[in-house]
Amino acid sequence: MDIKDRQIIRELQKDGRLSNQDLAERVNLSPSPCLRRLRNLEAEGVITGYTALVDQKACGLPITVFIRIRLERHSDEGVRIFEQQIGRIEEVLDCYLLAGGDDYLLRVLTHSLEAYEDFIRRRIHAIPGIASIDSSFAYGVVKQTRVFPV
Stretch 63-77: mean pLDDT: 96
pTM of the model: 0.87
Determine the pLDDT at residue 64: 97
pLDDT single digits (tens) 89-136 = 999 999 999 999 999 999 999 999 999 999 999 999 999 999 999 999
Determine the pLDDT at residue 59: 97
Residue 150 has pLDDT above 90, yes or no: no
Determine the pLDDT at residue 3: 96
Backbone angles phi, psi at 7, to 5 degrees: -65, -40
Residue 78 has pLDDT above 90, yes or no: yes
Round the average pLDDT of the chain to a whole number and report it. 96
pLDDT single digits (tens) 10-52 = 999 999 999 999 999 999 999 999 999 999 999 999 999 999 9
Backbone angles phi, psi at 133, to 5 degrees: -130, 125
- Domains, the chain, with CATH or none: 3-43 (1.10.10.10), 63-138 (3.30.70.920)
Determine the pLDDT at residue 149: 87
Residue 146 has pLDDT above 90, yes or no: no
- The per-residue b/e assignment along 42-64, b for 16 or more CB within 10 angstroms, e otherwise, is eeeeebeeeeeeeeeeeeebebb
Determine the pLDDT at residue 49: 94
